[in-house]
Amino acid sequence: MIRRIFLAFAAVILLAGPTLAQSVPTPLQFFGFEIGQDRKLADWNQLTSYYEKLAQTSQRVTVDTLGLSTMGRPFIKLTITSPENHARLAELKAVQMKLADPRKISGDAELQRLLDQGKTVVLVTHSIHATEVGGSQMAARLAWRMATSNDEKIRTILNNVIFLDIPSLNPDGLQWVVDYYKAGLGTSYEGGAMPWLYHFYTGHDNNRDWYAFTQKETVLTIQGAHNDWHPQIVHDIHQMGSNGARIFFPPYIDPWEPNIDPSLAAAVNQLGAYMAAEVTANGMPGVVTTGQYDAFTPARAYQHYHAGARILSEAASVRVATPIEIPRDRLGPSRGYDSSKPSWNFPSVWQGGAWRLADIVNYQEGGVLALLTNAAVNRRYWLENFYRIGARAVGKWGTWPEAWVIPAGQANTAGVNYVLRILTTAQVEVHQAAEAFAVGARSFPAGSWVIPMRQPYASFAQTMLEVQHYPDLREFPGGPPLRPYDVTAHTLPLLMNVQAVALPEAPRVALSAPIAIPEYGFQLPAHLQGRRASRVAIYKSWQEPMEAGWTRWVFDQYKLRYDTLHDADVQRGRLADRYDVVVLQTQSPRSIRGGFAAGSAPPEYVGGLGEKGVAELKTFVEAGGRLVAVEDATEFAAELFGLGVKSAVEGLRNTDYYIPGSILRLDIDTTSELATGMEREGIAWFDTGSRPFDVSDPAMKVVARFGSPDPLLSGWVLGGDKVAGKPAIVQAQVGKGSVVLFGFQPNYRGQSVATFPLLFNALRR
C-alpha cells in the first residue's frame, strides 16, 4: 500500500518539475549483482523500487502505476524520453491522438504540421510469460541506460521517440517465479517447472487475451498504454526453446489475418529485418527471421488493428537463470531454417556451447535498441504510415460492409454485453439506433447497436464479427498441414451466440453518441444458486492445465461458489459428504495420476492423485456424485470406470485429419437435461486436444454430436468427415452417480458463452 502511494507521489513530483539531487544508481549498485548474472534474479519488489529510484534521479524517466494486478501487485509503466519532450508531453500526446484519427485533422496544412511535430511512440512489454525471465531483468538495465547514457544513439532516440515501457506484463508471475527459483537453488529441481500457473487464471494463455480483454493486466495495458498513446510500434519480449536459433525477430510467416493493413505487414518486415541486421552486426550469431511465428490471430495482436506494428522477439531459454550447455550436434532442422547451417534468414550460425541468462539479456537489449533507433531515425515514415492506415480505415475498405448491426432484444444478454464490451474496449465506436429501422428486407428494433465501418478501428470490428476462412497451407504440396501458431477462428457472434448482421448500406436512422463500455452481466443459473445449489469442486493439480484456470475465471465471474481440490484434498476422502460435482479439466491420465516425478519439484508437490486419490474419486461417483471430464481427462474417466467410449480420431495422421482451433457445428439433443436452455443447433470450440467419441456401450447417452455433413463454421478443418455426426458430449450412469464427458472445450478461454450453459447444466446432482 505504501509503495503504491509513493509511486503515484513520485510520478506527480517528477511531472511537476524534477530536481536532480541524487545520482542514478547502476543496477549493480542497487541490486548487488549485474543484470543477467548466473542464478541471480531481481524480484518485483526490488524492480519496482529501482524504477522509483530512476524516476527520482533522472529527468528522462517517469513511472506511473496503472493499477493493480490480479493478486494486487502494482502494475507500472515507465515513460522515457528527453527532458524537453517530458516538459511538453501533453502537447505531444495531442499530436499523436490527431494522427490516430484522421477525421479530426482539418487539412493538409495541419497534417504537415502534425507530422513535423510528432514523435514516434514505442511501447515495449516484458515477460508476460513469467518463466521467460530475461525480459523482466533486461528492462532494468535498459531503463538505466536510457536514463544515463549520453551516447549519440541514445540521444537520438530520446529526442525522437516517446518510449513507453511496461517492465512486466505479469508482476504476480514474476514474483512467484523468482521466489520459487530461489527456493530451489542447489536442489534437483533448480530451474524446473513451477507447480502452479504463472498467471493466476490463465497461465501461458495470458498472451492470448488481446481481443477478449478478460484479465486485469490486459485491460491495464490496453487502457493505460495502447489506448492512451496509440503507439506506432509495440515490441513484446519473449523466450522460446533452447535448441534452435538464439533469437527470433520478424518477418512472420504466412498467414497474416486479412483485415490488417498491408503497410503494417511491410513495416513489420523492415523493422524486424533491421533488428536482425543490427544484432548480427554487433557480433551476436544465431539470429533467425521468418520462422515459426505467423500473424493470424488477433488474440496476440491488438496493435495490428490499431495502426501499430507488432514486433515479437523470442530468445533461446536457459533454465530460468541457470546456465545450460548445448552441444553442437543438438542444433538441427527447425521450422523454416536449420540451426546447424547458414541460410538467407539465418545467416550466422551459433556454434553451440554454454548459453546463459546474460546472453539472453544482451540479445534482447540489442534488439530493443535497434528497434528504438529505427523508430527515431525513421520518425516521419512511422508517423505518415500510421496516419495513412487510419485514413484508409476511415475511407472503408472495399471488403467491409457499410455497417454492422447487433439487433436489440436478443435473449442472450450476457453474450451481447460481452461482444459490446470487447468492441468498445478496443475503441470501436458503437451507437444505438434511436428508433426501429430497416435496410433492404431486414428490420431492426429501436435500441439496436450500430457499428458504422468508416472509423479508425473498423478493422478490429470486422475481424471479430466476420467468419474466418483460414487458408489450407501445407509444408509442401500434398504434405502435412502448416501448423498455425495459435488457432484459426475468433468469430465472436458464433462463440457468444449473438446475432450480428453486415449491412451493404448505411442505415438511415438517428444514432446515439458512442456507448460506454458495458459490464458483463453474467447470470448464474437457478440450479447453482441458493441453499439447494449443487456443491461444486474443480480439481487443481500441481500441473494445473490452463483450461482449469480459465474455468475458475468463469466460475468467479458468475459468482459460482466452488472449491478447488488439490491432490491431498481428494486423498482425504469423504468427497460425497462435501460435493455433488467434481470437474476435471483437460489433463492426461498420466498427469492426473502421477503429477510431478520425484526430484522434479519439492516433495509436497510430487505424485498426482496417486492410487488413494483415484480410489476416492471412484467411490465419490459410485456413491452418487457426478464427475465432469473434458477432452484429455475423458480418457481418465473412461479408464477409471471401464466405460465403452474412446476417441474416434486416435492415431490418425495429420495429413488426413487436423483441426487446430476452429468453431464447429454442434447438434444438441434438446430432450437432455444437459441441454436445458439450448437450441438444437449450437457451436463447439474444437482444438487439437478435442475429439469426437466412438461409443460402444448402448446404455451411454449421447447428448450432442458434431455437425454433419460439413462440421466447419469458422476457421479450418482438415478431414471433417472424421468428426461429422460423431458424439461430442456423452453421459453414463456409474453406480448411483454419473459421468459427463465433453469431447470439446465448453469454456474456450472464457469466451465461448454459447456453450457455458452446457457446462453449467453438467454441474447438477
> Which residues bind to Zn ion, rule: CB under 5 A?
129, 132, 238
**Nearest-angstrom CA–CA distance, 574 and 71:** 32
* CA distance readout (Å), 421 to 66, 209, 493, 596: 20, 14, 13, 40
Q: What are phi and psi of 127, to 5 degrees?
A: 50, 50
Q: Residues with Cβ < 8 Å from 58, sequence gap 6 or more?
A: 18, 24, 147, 148
Considering the complex, what minimum distance in angstroms separates the CB of residue 128 from Zn ion? 7
Cβ proximity to Zn ion: between 41 and 237 the closer is 237
Cβ proximity to Zn ion: between 69 and 207 the closer is 207
Cβ proximity to Zn ion: between 241 and 521 the closer is 241
Cβ proximity to Zn ion: between 313 and 373 the closer is 313
Cβ proximity to Zn ion: between 129 and 199 the closer is 129
Instruction: Label residue 107 exposed, middle or buried (CB < 10 Å: 0-12, 13-18, 19+).
Output: exposed
Considering the complex, what minimum distance in angstroms separates the CB of residue 11 from Zn ion? 29
203: left (phi over 0), alpha (psi -120 to 50) or beta: left
Give the length of the chain.
765
Cβ proximity to Zn ion: between 228 and 294 the closer is 294
Considering the complex, what minimum distance in angstroms separates the CB of residue 191 from Zn ion? 17
Nearest to 737 by CA among 653, 622, 631: 622
Three-state secondary-structure class, residue 290:
coil
Considering the complex, what minimum distance in angstroms separates the CB of residue 294 from Zn ion? 15
Considering the complex, what minimum distance in angstroms separates the CB of residue 293 from Zn ion? 11
Cβ proximity to Zn ion: between 125 and 571 the closer is 125
Considering the complex, what minimum distance in angstroms separates the CB of residue 688 from Zn ion? 19
Q: Where are the alpha helices (H) located in 572-715, listed in sequence order?
A: 575-578, 589-594, 610-622, 632-641
Amino acid sitting at position 601: A
Considering the complex, what minimum distance in angstroms separates the CB of residue 444 from Zn ion? 43
Considering the complex, what minimum distance in angstroms separates the CB of residue 127 from Zn ion? 8
Cβ proximity to Zn ion: between 129 and 705 the closer is 129
Q: How many CB atoms lie within 10 A of CB 59?
A: 17
Cβ proximity to Zn ion: between 361 and 592 the closer is 361
Cβ proximity to Zn ion: between 293 and 756 the closer is 293
Cβ proximity to Zn ion: between 313 and 755 the closer is 313
**Nearest-angstrom CA–CA distance, 733 and 130:** 43
Cβ proximity to Zn ion: between 144 and 550 the closer is 550
Cβ proximity to Zn ion: between 217 and 631 the closer is 217
**Nearest-angstrom CA–CA distance, 135 and 142:** 10
Q: Kindly provide the b/e burial profile for residues 507-534, where b requires at least 16 CB atoms within 10 angstroms of the residue's own CB.
A: bebebeeeeebbeeebebbebbeeeebb
Cβ proximity to Zn ion: between 248 and 658 the closer is 248
Considering the complex, what minimum distance in angstroms separates the CB of residue 145 from Zn ion? 24
Q: What are phi and psi of 601, to 5 degrees?
A: -160, 165
Task: Let me know: does 212 contact 426? Beta carbons within 8 Å.
Answer: no
Considering the complex, what minimum distance in angstroms separates the CB of residue 199 from Zn ion? 12
Q: How many CB atoms lie within 10 A of CB 357?
A: 25
Considering the complex, what minimum distance in angstroms separates the CB of residue 184 from Zn ion? 21
Considering the complex, what minimum distance in angstroms separates the CB of residue 549 from Zn ion? 16
**Nearest-angstrom CA–CA distance, 488 and 294:** 11
Nearest to 574 by CA among 541, 519, 615, 539: 615
Considering the complex, what minimum distance in angstroms separates the CB of residue 238 from Zn ion? 3
Pull the grid cell for residue 757.
Answer: 450453459
Task: Let me know: does 680 contact 667? Beta carbons within 8 Å.
Answer: yes
Q: Where are the alpha helices (H) located in 693-738, listed in sequence order?
A: none
Instruction: Label residue 235 exposed, middle or buried (CB < 10 Å: 0-12, 13-18, 19+).
Output: buried
DSSP of 255-269, one letter per residue?
A: EEPTTS-HHHHHHHH
Cβ proximity to Zn ion: between 132 and 567 the closer is 132
Nearest to 261 by CA among 289, 288, 232, 235: 232
**Nearest-angstrom CA–CA distance, 100 and 97:** 5
Degrees to nearest 5, angle at CA 181 with 243 and 135: 60
Amino acid sitting at position 256: W
Considering the complex, what minimum distance in angstroms separates the CB of residue 316 from Zn ion? 12
Considering the complex, what minimum distance in angstroms separates the CB of residue 235 from Zn ion? 13
**Nearest-angstrom CA–CA distance, 526 and 562:** 15
Task: Let me know: does 486 contact 661? Beta carbons within 8 Å.
Answer: yes
